[in-house]
Structure 1
């Protein structure tokens, strides 16, 4: 992969793809990107390093790799949060998640190692760096300038670790290339482990028994099933409707899984006006989840949960990405209603544990809205501004596939994790498993 990218652009390319890869795939998928980095502590959005993101996502394999390459667990992002403090917060938020606990152990271990190094330098500044990790520590008073000097020593040692690891990676790559050249039939480790769509929480969101969400046969059956539930009421652009289903299915495993769930629900209906960007000719007035009356000429898409019908206007006028996002969000609202039988809320009526977790999600939304204001994604703002609690809950949960369909898998997941990580985690840990159970127990019609 490195040979196909110019030396000038390789670092920027690796930076862009690595931050996206952190949220969408395993370390194994993106190992080449890590090898391309000159600085493992590069900064992304909100001045976060890859280690910040790995910690927030609970990716123990990423965190271990980054730390082994010299990533600094003490660097602060724009909110003055370090990977160490973020790891502690994630364990507090997810006390039963073993991945979060493992991440905290790894970051804490490196933190203690750095402390021991500083302590040892206080006692014997001339000690060889190779002995620092094993030496006993003792407290010796130093001036501020001396302490700053010691910290500089630790940073220098960390840079040495990065350099040594880069040299080692280069040697391993050369050896791997030579081995493949000599034994062309020898498969690589990467080639025999295809990715089936890994959730940010570490679980696999495969949509079948050992198959990928993008299996061509599953994809064809799902889209044909959804088209069988769809009627173009005005116009004849059935091909455009198919395109939107294909677009949503191909965006991400989450959006594909949502379509698969709806495809096995017998009562689902989708009515389309392919001549207009609104739904007025199909539904002039309707009552929304707030209990308010709306006018169809102001809506491009609307999910009528009572009749289990989604109305969609796909005439030319808005960007395809925006319409795909709106459509996915409306379909998701219907999916949530059918999945949990709780009016559209993303949990069942008697599930007090999930209801409590969802309250924490909404509390985090409120906190992020207070701190960030309009820097928060506009669709999250839109959901939170709903009047009734039911409307807030349903729109907020449906925002996950909506934003992913609008922005694409990598960017959409990153936006969700950056805005409200608990929202994405709840959807991954609670909604997705429920849909998997439902789709696996039914064959696509």
Structure 2
């Protein structure tokens, strides 16, 4: 492996205090409400599948029925989440003039909600920076990389929860090259999710599950690629790529299945997720279907493993790319089943 340069100095980190932050509580409340709303249907479906599955053919039939039922449930969930996002925006706009009576005291003064959130953000980002190595580091590069983590944390309660999970586990190493959009200066050779041996010049980011390392080409800019019969130009936003790779690593740490969002012995959710992935792949191959580049890129992976790992990590990446409200709206419009699966399976595990 190539040298990764200087290491970011470990920053002093404030110890986590009792209770949870407002942002964590917001993520917890949102997912609890959604799970409560859909729990009876989902639980009965799970019990029905367990009782009636006797062969692979029967299982696939039941999974098709489950996707149909989820489709019927998505519409009210979409309305609920939209209302929650609007309420969140209203709360943010009024936080500066809100009453501090529920704030925690600090050094004899009342700490406002905004101050608590900023303190939680800074604590989390400090930890992530202590886990990060920047090639040929300097003050400017440190500021740039810190900005990546701040954007991810502030994008959505779900993405802040993802970083909080990494803050508490502290088992991941992040390596960043701010001088390139690719990772070839950080690592020479890799095996892709599709099983192909590649050099670092093929990747702008990569999550190495075996080494528990995330590599990132931290230089933003445009790049070109060949799609069909034409050249297409796209933007490389390092914070979006970093969010996607960190999400893959978090899911790997939770489920221990190389980035797939189900446990190795959870056959029901494995088959359900495979069915969702196949539904999205069919939509991608249907002419006239609108689909974001992040989703298309994930579905363009050549193997089922590559598609499954890439696709589930699109959810936090989209929230960082577009922001909480717009990102969730696009997710529910373009990949509603996947979004529901992420809320039901991944978010509760991150919280725990």
Q: What TM-score, normalized by structure 1, do the two folds share?
A: 0.50
Q: Name the counterpart of 2:321.
A: 406
Instruction: Determine if the alignment matches structure 1 residue 298 to structure 2 residue 274.
Output: no
Per-residue deviation, 1:386: 1.4
Q: Name the counterpart of 1:176.
A: none
Alpha-carbon distance between aligned partners in 1 of 2:120 and 2:292, rounded to the nearest angstrom: 32
Report matched runs for 1:147-158 at 5 Å. Answer: none
Give the conservation status (yes or no) of the 8 Å contact 1:301–1:313.
yes
Q: Name the counterpart of 1:238.
A: 142
Per-residue deviation, 1:374: 5.9
What is the number of equivalent residue pairs in this alignment? 250
Q: What is the SS of the residue equivalent to 1:261?
A: helix
Q: What is the SS of the residue equivalent to 2:221?
A: coil
Give the conservation status (yes or no) of the 8 Å contact 1:383–1:396.
yes
CA gap of 1:220–1:93, structure 2 versus 1, over 3 A, is: same
Give the conservation status (yes or no) of the 8 Å contact 2:332–2:339.
yes
Alpha-carbon distance between aligned partners in 1 of 2:35 and 2:67, rounded to the nearest angstrom: 9
Q: Name the counterpart of 2:170.
A: 266
Alpha-carbon distance between aligned partners in 2 of 1:394 and 1:265, rounded to the nearest angstrom: 21
Q: Name the counterpart of 2:118.
A: 216
Alpha-carbon distance between aligned partners in 1 of 2:75 and 2:286, rounded to the nearest angstrom: 28
Alpha-carbon distance between aligned partners in 1 of 2:279 and 2:35, rounded to the nearest angstrom: 18
Q: What TM-score, normalized by structure 2, do the two folds share?
A: 0.63
Alpha-carbon distance between aligned partners in 1 of 2:212 and 2:148, rounded to the nearest angstrom: 19
Give the conservation status (yes or no) of the 8 Å contact 2:71–2:337.
no
Per-residue deviation, 1:300: 2.0
Superposed CA offset, 1:90-119 (max 9, x none)? 994239979969x9xxxxxxxxxxxxxxxx
Structure whose alpha-carbon radius of gyration is higher? 1
Give the conservation status (yes or no) of the 8 Å contact 1:333–1:395.
yes
Per-residue deviation, 1:376: 1.6
Instruction: Determine if the alignment matches structure 1 residue 423 to structure 2 residue 338.
Output: yes
Alpha-carbon distance between aligned partners in 1 of 2:190 and 2:250, rounded to the nearest angstrom: 20
Q: Which runs of 5+ in 2 are unaligned?
A: 1-25, 27-33, 38-64, 80-86, 93-112, 223-233
Superposed CA offset, 1:334-376 (max 9, x none)? 1111111111101111112322331232132033223355622
Superposed CA offset, 1:281-318 (max 9, x none)? 11122111111122212322211111110111213535
What's the RMSD between the two structures over aligned residues? 3.4
CA gap of 1:215–1:357, structure 2 versus 1, over 3 A, is: farther
Pick one of 259, 274, 292 that aligns with 1:377: 292
Alpha-carbon distance between aligned partners in 2 of 1:298 and 1:309, rounded to the nearest angstrom: 17
Q: Name the counterpart of 1:326.
A: 241
Q: What is the SS of the residue equivalent to 1:215?
A: helix
Q: What is the SS of the residue equivalent to 1:310?
A: strand
Alpha-carbon distance between aligned partners in 2 of 1:281 and 1:98, rounded to the nearest angstrom: 44
Q: Name the counterpart of 1:17.
A: none
Give the conservation status (yes or no) of the 8 Å contact 1:269–1:309.
yes
Give the conservation status (yes or no) of the 8 Å contact 2:221–2:237.
no
Q: What is the SS of the residue equivalent to 1:271?
A: strand
Per-residue deviation, 1:274: 1.8
Alpha-carbon distance between aligned partners in 2 of 1:378 and 1:394, rounded to the nearest angstrom: 16
Alpha-carbon distance between aligned partners in 2 of 1:370 and 1:387, rounded to the nearest angstrom: 14
CA gap of 1:297–1:347, structure 2 versus 1, over 3 A, is: same
Pick one of 169, 173, 181 that aligns with 1:277: 181
Higher strand share: 2
Q: Which runs of 5+ in 1 are unaligned?
A: 1-24, 26-56, 61-88, 104-189, 196-210, 438-445
